[in-house]
Amino acid sequence: MFTDIMGQVRQKVALHNHSEMSDGKRPPDEIARIYEEAGYDALTFTEHWFWNPAGYYKTMTILSGAEYNIGGKNAMDGVYHITAIGCTSSPRIGKKDSPQKIAAAIHRANGIAVLAHPAWSLNDPAKVAAMKGFDAVEIYNTTSGVHHNCRADASCFVDQLACRGRRLPLVAVDDAHWYTSDHTRSWICVESDSNRSDALITAIRAGRFYASQGPEIHLRREGNRLVLDCTPAVEILFYSNVVYVCGRAVRGVDLTHAEYEIVPDTKDEKGKTIAGDRFVRAEVVDAQGNRAWSNFIEIGDETR
Ligand SMILES: [Zn+2]
Ligand SMILES: [Zn+2]
């Protein structure tokens, strides 16, 4: 638990980890000790096809979790890995179930369904946009960028999904297996006074968090501007559906504030509407290369 630069109490939460209970390389109590010593308030064991119930390690919450992976190893067949967070009982899921069925079963067990590492899985945004059950998506997955893996960053995927109307909350996770260089690197900072499981799940479901590897990022709308405050950064980046916007990337030293003007709708010479921004999200990068990611801000029509 910490108080952020805006005075808000936040919980540091890890949503995707593997132990010796599935294909991880360390026992659960050793992993819990590593995360507790790194200042985490909650940790989730998301073992493959094995539901781990909620509990505690000292004062750190263990959120209930599991990971359901279908589609084998070839992206052309459709590879989907879905984590179940906060279920109050084991979701009833079969190995031939579709991604949407898996998400529905997770919901019936009162949990959150998160689409894991869509960049690593080469998920198709058009296909995922047609599925209704996901509550969040991993914008960054540490393990997908270390050892024998690449494609950790799913920012292009989430923006393409957002262009299709699906602005899902964005989480960063470790998905740690080896606990060499793949642990305690990517997490979410949840806006909550308590690290109780029910409080965290309610806040995550509502998108009240940002994802981080160290920096703080606070994005809000004021009229026709997006206002960002952060801990010292070298890059502040605003992303939206409009492909070119002058001023969307701010670069410098010790940046702690930036503003972005929402692109309004315009008309072409024939009177046809050219759409402006429909969504905006932001990222910051600190001098060490650590990133933080805001959630999407939906842009309505009131400025037009
Ligand atoms: Zn996976
Ligand atoms: Zn995993």
pLDDT tens-digit map of 99-130: 999 999 999 999 999 999 999 999 999 999 99
Using CA atoms of 14, 151, 285, 226 in order, give the dihedral in degrees to the nearest 10: -90
Ligand 1: distance of its center to the CA of 134 in Å? 15
Ligand 2: distance of its center to the CA of 148 in Å? 15
SS3 for 31? helix
* Residues 281 and 222 reside in one and the same domain: yes
For residue 65, which ligand has an atom nearest its CA? 2
Ligand 2: distance of its center to the CA of 155 in Å? 19
Pairing of strands 273-274, 266-267: antiparallel
Encoding tokens for residue 211?
């994802």
Work out the average pLDDT over 226-244: 97
For residue 19, which ligand has an atom nearest its CA? 2
Encoding tokens for residue 152?
């950790």
* Residues 100 and 28 reside in one and the same domain: yes
Q: Is residue 304 part of a domain?
A: no
Domain boundary among 164, 188, 212: 212
CA distance 116 to 113: 9
Ligand 2: distance of its center to the CA of 175 in Å? 5
* Residues 185 and 245 reside in one and the same domain: no
* Residues 239 and 202 reside in one and the same domain: no
Q: CATH number of the domain that 11 lies in? A: 3.20.20.140
User: Where in the sequence is the domain holding 123, given as residue range(s)?
Assistant: 2-212
Work out the average pLDDT over 16-38: 98
* Residues 293 and 184 reside in one and the same domain: no
* pLDDT above 70: percentage of residues in the chain: 99
**Domains held by the chain: number:** 2
* Residues 106 and 134 reside in one and the same domain: yes
Work out the average pLDDT over 260-274: 94
pLDDT at 301: 64
